[in-house]
Amino acid sequence: MSNYHIKHLEEYYQVYRKSVREPENFWEEVAGEHFLWRKKWNNVLSWDFSKPEIKWFEGAQLNITENCIDRHLTTRADQTAILFEPNDPSEKAEHITYKQLYHRVNKMANVLKSKGVQKGDRVCIYVPMIPELAIAVLACARIGAVHSVVFAGFSSTALATRINDCDCKMVITSDGSYRGAKTIDLKGIVDDALESCPGVETVLVAKRINNEVTMKDGRDEWLEPLLEQASDECPAEIMKAEDPLFILYTSGSTGQPKGMVHTTAGYMVYTAYTFKNVFQYRDGDVYWCTADIGWITGHSYIVYGPLCNGATTVMFEGVPSYPDFGRFWEIVQKHQVNQFYTAPTAIRALAKQGSELVEKYDLSSLKVLGSVGEPINEEAWHWYNDNVGKKNSPIVDTWWQTETGGIMITPIPYVTPTKPTYATLPFIGIQPALMDENAEELKGNQVEGRLCIKFPWPSMARTIWGNHQRYKDTYFSAFENKYFTGDGALRDEVGYYRITGRVDDVIIVSGHNLGTAPIEDAINEHPAVSESAIVGFPHDVKGNALYGYVILKDTGETRNHDNLRKEINQIITEHIGPIAKLDKIQFTQGLPKTRSGKIMRRILRKIAHKDTSNLGDISTLLNPEVVQDIMDNAL
């Protein structure tokens, strides 16, 4: 079917129009011609954003791993599926073929089953970027268990919250992880977390760094001996289209992280279709996404999307700076990478090192460059385009979210003319809308507003685990009959979109979404702290960094502020993880509040941005006098 692989702009518009005019026919064709179904659907789509309830391909039966692995065995059994590049460049890369992946996933699936994991059970995967991570994800999908991958940089408290929220009965982890020159004791973190997770029955531990770990009798087991004994054939569980495939936590502006639930058929169809088009993947290409599988980018565009297309997908264990800042380029040259997908924060960190390290390597294999996670600033865009792409590889600035499951607004390389800092046009099937302050849709071009989506797409999250009301309140209540993204955007004179950033209290630091509330809660646990407020401020590498305003309790004692700052960051590290540490902490007597007691973050944000020329009307505040004091002592 020609629609599966868009080749020029006219075709894009033609297919886009069809996908909007007849969405059901369109997605039925894509789904019907490119996937393996045990049974086809009775109904392509039913939806009601007021409930909200969204169902795609109802009545269909399938297993996503048969699509990602089994069906490729006849044509590409010996092709590399996963190309594992270790942290240490002197350790050999591992090429896992589709056939080997099939056997390894089936073995893992049998191990899970032997430990009592059944269809519908939740399994927490807290594993670094080693092959076992992808294999564990696929093994869960094979037997219909719902995986909940937790990024292996999160703290024990954050891990425990996520394990308990969805009642995981098993945790898969490793003895530790490599991160550049450092090692991290992951098993120790799991042990700490499990002190408050009574529901976990089994912990399976992969060996990676040969760390000394304590194994709790009756609960913990080494994975390798179990895998050795397990059969390498495990029949795929037949799943319904709307059976949950995984839960992935993302930060909200308030409260606990939200366990976004993605289901099987729609997620598969959309991630596979977007992967093919957004990266213009051709047979034989080597594709590399530098994200961690602990984030949605890794789920959709390291594991499911690429494997569904029979691609070769690189999994990199290390960091861009080890052994030096040339590592990414060394890997591109070594594996002749064709599509390279990374985050603006990484691009900025690399750009800071100058172009020498890029020029040292042959990057001529590159055909497509991708960016994701936050707005890419103009300087970083040009550096990427000029030095990495040599002005020959289009940059796809892909806008999407954990909640959307797949890429939503993006250029299609060699099809859509790019424009720096613009995510450009909606992907096929996506109907964006910009809304004004009065919840009216802004029609026409050259408008700016809140970004919503008007019509369902197959890979949208269906609910928040255990809290459907919160799903409705967060995404479907601000604007009637529309999915609200939480982002602001503008549409230029030709209809290109530029994402301007979050309009809520989520701050994106180095591409990671951080809600202010959980960080403030953590800070407030410090015995000396009475209240706190967090805002973001611009940072040349991280995009945003965190600025905390902290009120100390009046105990009469004087405390050393530098020590307090260290202690506060220590608490944040324990509760959330090092990514949420504050760059600046200002101790203050008060926080500006409205008469109803709400902290005026707008003012704090301006002060942190050193933009105090126009603070707006502060006379209506409960305590306008604190504003001057905060400004005088700003960091």
Question: Is 421 among the residues that bind ligand WTA (CB under 6 A)?
Answer: no
- Nearest to ligand WTA of 80, 402 (CB atom): 402
Q: Which of 161, 342, 513, 516 binds ligand WTA (CB under 6 A)?
A: 513
Contact 45, 56 (CB under 8 A): yes
Query: Residue 434 — φ and ψ, nearest 5°?
Result: -105, 135
Nearest one of 185, 232, 216 to 70, comparing CA atoms: 232
Per DSSP bridges, beta strands 395-398 and 432-435 are: unpaired
Q: Residue 424 is encoded by which pair of tokens?
A: 């450009």
- Nearest to ligand WTA of 164, 500 (CB atom): 500
**DSSP SS3 for 129:** coil
- Nearest to ligand WTA of 333, 500 (CB atom): 500
Three-state SS string across 550-615, please? EEECCCCCCCCHHHHHHHHHHHHHHHCCHHHCCCEEEEECCCCECCCCCECHHHHHHHHCCCCCCC
What H or E segment, with its residue span, contains residue 83? strand 80-85
| Chain centre to alpha carbon of residue 47 | 25
What H or E segment, with its residue span, contains residue 227? helix 223-229
Nearest one of 592, 586, 576 to 628, comparing CA atoms: 592
Segment interacting with ligand WTA, rule: CB under 6 A, options 176-184, 191-199, 372-380, 515-523 = 372-380
To ligand WTA, the closest distance from the beta carbon of 545 in angstroms equals: 16
| Residues in contact with ligand WTA, shown as a per-residue x/- string from 591 to 620 under the rule CB under 6 A | ------------------------------
To ligand WTA, the closest distance from the beta carbon of 586 in angstroms equals: 26
Q: How far is CA 390 from CA 325, 359, 364, 380, 387, in A?
A: 19, 10, 9, 14, 5
Question: Is 267 among the residues that bind ligand WTA (CB under 6 A)?
Answer: no
Instruction: Produce one character per residue of 614-632: b if its CB has 16 or more CB atoms within 10 Å, e if not.
Output: ebeeeeebebeebbeebee
To ligand WTA, the closest distance from the beta carbon of 251 in angstroms equals: 8
* Residue type, position 171, single letter: V
Task: Scan for tokens 């126009």, then name that residue.
Answer: 614
- Nearest to ligand WTA of 126, 399 (CB atom): 399
Instruction: Produce one character per residue of 349-364: b if its CB has 16 or more CB atoms within 10 Å, e if not.
Output: bbbeeeeebbeeeebe
405: Cβ contacts below 8 Å, ≥ 6 apart: 262, 266, 267, 270, 271, 296, 300, 459, 460, 461
Minimal CB distance to ligand WTA: which residue?
402
Segment interacting with ligand WTA, rule: CB under 6 A, options 182-190, 373-381, 528-536, 587-595 = 373-381
| Chain centre to alpha carbon of residue 201 | 28
Alpha-carbon distance of 328 to 535, in angstroms, equals 32
Query: Residue 105 — φ and ψ, nearest 5°?
Result: -65, -40
Segment interacting with ligand WTA, rule: CB under 6 A, options 44-52, 191-199, 460-468, 479-487 = 479-487
- Nearest to ligand WTA of 154, 295 (CB atom): 295
Contact 320, 297 (CB under 8 A): no
Question: Is 375 among the residues that bind ligand WTA (CB under 6 A)?
Answer: yes
Question: Is 504 among the residues that bind ligand WTA (CB under 6 A)?
Answer: no
Q: Which of 487, 504, 505, 520 binds ligand WTA (CB under 6 A)?
A: 487
Q: Which of 342, 401, 532, 586 binds ligand WTA (CB under 6 A)?
A: 401
* Conformation bin of residue 421: beta by default, left when phi > 0, alpha when psi is -120 to 50: left
Question: Is 508 among the residues that bind ligand WTA (CB under 6 A)?
Answer: yes
- Nearest to ligand WTA of 161, 513 (CB atom): 513
Beta bridge partners of 425: none
Q: Which of 175, 191, 242, 374 binds ligand WTA (CB under 6 A)?
A: 374
- Nearest to ligand WTA of 183, 253 (CB atom): 253
Q: Which of 305, 411, 456, 486 binds ligand WTA (CB under 6 A)?
A: 486
| Residues in contact with ligand WTA, shown as a per-residue x/- string from 294 to 333 under the rule CB under 6 A | -xxx------------------------------------
Q: Which of 423, 460, 478, 522 binds ligand WTA (CB under 6 A)?
A: 423
Question: Is 402 among the residues that bind ligand WTA (CB under 6 A)?
Answer: yes
Site for ligand WTA, residues 122 to 141, rule: CB under 6 A: none
Question: Is 250 among the residues that bind ligand WTA (CB under 6 A)?
Answer: yes
- Nearest to ligand WTA of 310, 486 (CB atom): 486
Q: Which of 132, 175, 397, 520 binds ligand WTA (CB under 6 A)?
A: 397
Residues that bind ligand WTA (rule: CB under 6 A) add up to a total of: 23
Site for ligand WTA, residues 68 to 97, rule: CB under 6 A: none
Question: Is 3 among the residues that bind ligand WTA (CB under 6 A)?
Answer: no
To ligand WTA, the closest distance from the beta carbon of 218 in angstroms equals: 37
| Chain centre to alpha carbon of residue 248 | 9
To ligand WTA, the closest distance from the beta carbon of 214 in angstroms equals: 34
- Nearest to ligand WTA of 429, 488 (CB atom): 488
Q: Which of 460, 499, 507, 529 binds ligand WTA (CB under 6 A)?
A: 499
Segment interacting with ligand WTA, rule: CB under 6 A, options 16-24, 187-195, 218-226, 481-489 = 481-489
Alpha-carbon distance of 82 to 97, in angstroms, equals 7
**DSSP SS3 for 70:** helix
**DSSP SS3 for 369:** strand
Segment interacting with ligand WTA, rule: CB under 6 A, options 56-64, 134-142, 293-301, 618-626 = 293-301
Angle, vertex CA 166, rays to CA 161 and CA 168, nearest 5: 90
**Strands laid side by side in the 202-206 sheet:** 220-222, 202-206, 170-174, 122-125, 146-149, 244-250, 258-263, 463-464
To ligand WTA, the closest distance from the beta carbon of 220 in angstroms equals: 31
Question: Is 459 among the residues that bind ligand WTA (CB under 6 A)?
Answer: no
- Nearest to ligand WTA of 257, 592 (CB atom): 257
To ligand WTA, the closest distance from the beta carbon of 581 in angstroms equals: 19
Residues near ligand WTA (CB under 6 A) are 250, 295-297, 371-375, 397-402, 423, 485-487, 499, 502, 508, 513
